[in-house]
Amino acid sequence: MDKERKREIINRIIETIPGLKQFDIAKRAEINPGQLSAWLKGKGYLSDEKEELVVAAIKPLVREYSEKSKRDFMNDLQREIAELTATVENDDYVLGDPITSITTPFYVRRDSDKKLVDVLKIVDDQLISIIGGAKTGKTSHMKEAINELNLIELKSINTLNKDNDIYLWIDFSEFNTKAADEHVNIFRWIASLTKGGAISKNSVLMDADDFTEWLLNNIELGIGKKCVFFMANLKALWWESGDDKLCYFKDLAKGLHNFHNEKVRKPKLKQFRLVFEIERSHKMFTDIDLYSNYSSESAIFLNYPFKIEMRNFSTGEIERLMDKLQLTGNNLINAIRNARDLYDGHPILTHAFGIDIKRRALENKEEFPLVTKALEMVLSGIERMKRKHNTVIKSMANLSDAEGAVDKINQDYININDEILNQSEMFILKETGLFKIEKDKFSFSTTWIKNQIMTALSSEQNNSES
């Protein structure tokens, strides 16, 4: 076959097979990507030997990407069928728990859901942070990615199938409980989750300094495969008492710093992804300036990673949820309007409200018990806010007689040009889902939310005074 015909066929294969790139072929054939690109454009030269390497690389790649495309299509189809057939017959909703199954009517596919999946498939960043306030869907977002990517759970490094993409789920709330009793090292605890021993003496995971070597020596991955560590409930590493409130946070940050710094020198680390959820309104981060020794540690979570920000439900997402809950008539219309106007689509408040409406219709009740509980969960984040933030919020809520009240606040909003809060602080508050930024104004998301915060803070203030 002449060279021109060969180039024509290869270019058509690349255009036809979803996801297949020139770079993949060059990597498999072990030739320079720029040289291959120039040759495919008819502007460069490849030796006969390299042409054969390219041809040999294409056949298995076409098979792999074709099978992947079929899997993705079937997964999307099954997901849509499950969403279509979901009912509220089995009302297993637990307030505050992650919504992890697409077959439940409480699941709403959000615009951000696809983003993490795409990032894990395409972006080269090894550190990925999912940022949002309390109960905005961060954990559900990670669980959805696991479902969609068909990752195989890493249960034992001794029985690892290196031909699969794998994941390890790490819930730091479990470590918090265990550490309180046994004062265990956080990295030895992470190693224990895999239920496997070390392959060599150099791969024992004892502390932060061993983390990268442990990854490389214990977790063997096939070419093009990934291992994703999903880290949930990072805020559990904050301790309310003790001499060092951030000791476990510091240890974890040191290990991630080592990983981040070593990935250039050790290319195999690029097969690993570390995904963690961040609640920047938690005082682990808002009080970080009180712990100046940890400013560099916080950067590994806040500055270096690829960031995915959770947002309140859009009107379309609210409509999909209420429709899946099988609300009809005025119940449906009122639920959509109130979820938007009262709660601004805050995920847990919207879920709770929709289910309360459904149960009211079925049981002829008047109460909204789930909304009340959900509100307590959301407002608990306000109590953890830094003193400066609390003072500003109290002033915005018209509690201007509070000690240290901030001037220049025009009733219930802040003119962002007044620099009462800097832009970073405004975005920290906005992430809670309780505040918004529109044009040059920073304000509560809705009047209802303002009134609830005002009531909660007023009560808190009265209790402290008494």
| Per-residue model confidence as pLDDT tens digits over 89-118 | 445 677 888 876 666 777 887 877 778 888
Closest CA to 116 of 92, 93, 146: 146
Weakest-pLDDT range from 176-180, 209-213, 281-285: 176-180
Least confident of 272-281, 282-291, 385-394, 396-405: 396-405
Q: In what order do the strands lie in the sheet with 435-438?
A: 413-415, 441-444, 435-438
pLDDT at 402: 47
State which H helix or E strand residue 71 sits in. Answer: helix 48-85
* 272 in Cβ contact with 125 (< 8 Å): no
Q: How far apart, in Å, are the Cα atoms of 296 and each of 91, 182, 254, 309, 325? A: 45, 28, 9, 22, 46
Fold of 113-309: Rossmann fold (3.40.50)
Using an 8 Å Cβ cutoff, are 158 and 305 in contact? no
pLDDT reading at 201 higher than 50: no
Residue-wise DSSP of 146-178 = HHHHTPEE---GGG--TTS-EEEEEEHHHHHHH
Closest alpha carbon to 233 in 356, 97, 365, 378? 97
Percent of the chain with pLDDT over 90: 13
Q: Where are the domains of the chain?
A: 3-76, 113-309, 315-378, 385-465
| Rounded Cα gap, residues 199 and 207, in angstroms | 17
Other beta carbons less than 10 A from residue 178's beta carbon? 13
Torsion angle, alpha carbons of 429, 432, 433, 436, to 10: 0
Q: pLDDT of 331-383, one tens digit each?
A: 889 889 999 999 999 999 999 998 888 877 666 666 788 888 898 888 876 66
Q: Which of 459, 450, 290 is nearest to 386 (CA)?
A: 290
Question: With 70 as the cut, is the pLDDT of residue 296 above it?
Answer: no
pLDDT in tens, 305-326: 999 999 999 999 999 889 888 8
Rounded distance, CA 31 to CA 10, Å? 15
Compute the average pLDDT of residues 417-440. 82
Q: What pLDDT, on the 0 to 100 scale, is given for residue 192?
A: 80
Across the range 170-193, mean pLDDT stands at 77
Q: What is the pLDDT of residues 7-33, one digit of tens each?
A: 888 888 888 887 788 888 888 888 888
pLDDT at 130: 93
